[in-house]
C-alpha cells in the first residue's frame, strides 16, 4: 500500500485494517506466551516441592504517568491470569478496590466482561481484632529479634493512652 493510499480508505476500512493487524499480532504474541509458559512449567519450575510467590504492591503510587498507569495495570492483570497455568508460581497483585474499578473503567474495550476477572480477586476485610493481632505479630517479630526472647505485643511498645484517648484506637 502506498503512503498516500491510506487517505483513500474509508473510516470503516481503516478500522478493519487495524483490527486485522491486531489479530495477527495477538495470535503471534499468544503463541509465544504459550511457549514461554510451557517452558517455565516443564523446565524452570518443574520441582513440585519448590514454590515461588511474587507479590506486587504500591501500584497506586506515582510510578508511571497517569495516562499509562491503568493500561499497564490491566496488562499486568492479563499476564497474571496467563501465569495461572504455571503450577509452582503464584503472583499476587495488591490492589485497592477503587483502583481496580478505575482500571476496568478506563481500559474497557468492546466485549470486555469484568465478571470474568472476579475469580482472580481475593478481597481482604480487616476487623479491629485482626488488625491488632497482626500488629502484635509484627511487633513481636521485630522486638524478639533484637531485644528479648519473650513475647512482645503492641501494648508493650505503644502507650495505653494518648491524652484522653485509649492507645488501641490510635492505630487506625
Same domain, 154 and 92: no
Residue 2 lies in a domain: no
Indicate whether 135 and 63 sit together in one domain: no
Same domain, 38 and 107: yes
Range of the domain at 55: 9-120
**What are the strands, taking DSSP E only, across the chain?**
52-56, 89-93, 161-162, 165-166
Q: Do the domain assignments include residue 37?
A: yes
Q: 133-171: per-residue pLDDT in tens?
A: 888 888 888 777 676 677 777 777 777 777 777 665 545
Specify the number of domains making up the chain.
2
Give me the residue label for grid cell 485497592: 96
Note whether 64 and 143 are same-domain residues.
Answer: no
Is residue 74 situated within a structural domain?
yes
Residue 3 falls within a domain, yes or no?
Answer: no
Q: What is the pLDDT of residue 168?
A: 56
59 and 142 assigned to the same domain:
no
Q: What are the tens digits of pLDDT across the range 87-100?
A: 788 888 888 888 98
For residue 164, give the C-alpha cell: 484522653
Together in a domain, 20 and 38: yes
Cα(171)–Cα(59) distance, integer angstroms: 24
Q: Do 165 and 140 fall within a single domain?
A: yes
1 falls within a domain: no
Residues 150 and 83 in one domain: no
Residue pLDDT, tens place only, 60-79: 888 888 778 888 888 888 88
Residues 111 and 88 in one domain: yes
Asked whether residue 4 is assigned to any structural domain, the reply reads no
Is residue 72, in this structure, part of any structural domain at all?
yes
Residues 92 and 133 in one domain: no
- 116 & 158 share domain: no
Contacts 24+ apart (CB under 8 A), 81-84: 81/117, 81/120, 82/33, 82/37, 83/37
Label residue 21 left, alpha or beta by phi (over 0 means left) and psi (-120 to 50 means alpha): alpha
The radius of gyration computed from the CA coordinates of the chain, to the nearest angstrom, equals: 25
Is residue 147 in some structural domain?
yes
- pLDDT at 41 (0 to 100): 78
Amino acid at each position: 500500500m502506498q503512503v498516500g493510499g491510506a487517505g483513500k480508505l474509508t473510516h470503516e476500512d481503516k478500522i478493519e485494517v487495524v483490527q486485522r493487524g491486531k489479530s495477527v499480532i495477538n495470535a503471534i504474541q499468544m503463541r509465544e506466551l504459550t511457549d514461554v509458559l510451557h517452558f517455565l512449567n516443564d523446565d524452570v519450575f518443574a520441582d513440585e516441592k519448590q514454590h515461588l510467590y511474587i507479590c506486587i504492591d504500591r501500584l497506586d503510587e506515582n510510578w508511571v504517568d497517569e495516562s499509562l498507569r491503568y493500561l499497564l495495570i490491566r496488562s499486568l492483570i492479563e499476564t497474571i491470569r496467563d501465569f495461572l497455568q504455571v503450577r509452582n508460581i503464584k503472583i499476587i497483585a495488591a490492589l485497592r478496590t477503587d483502583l481496580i474499578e478505575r482500571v476496568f473503567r478506563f481500559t474497557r474495550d468492546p466485549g470486555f466482561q469484568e465478571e470474568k476477572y472476579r475469580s482472580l480477586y481475593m478481597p481482604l476485610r480487616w476487623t479491629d481484632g485482626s488488625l491488632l493481632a497482626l500488629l502484635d505479630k509484627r511487633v513481636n517479630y521485630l522486638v524478639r529479634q533484637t531485644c528479648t526472647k519473650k513475647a512482645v505485643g503492641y501494648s508493650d511498645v505503644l502507650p495505653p493512652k494518648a491524652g484522653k484517648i485509649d492507645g488501641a484506637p490510635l492505630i487506625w
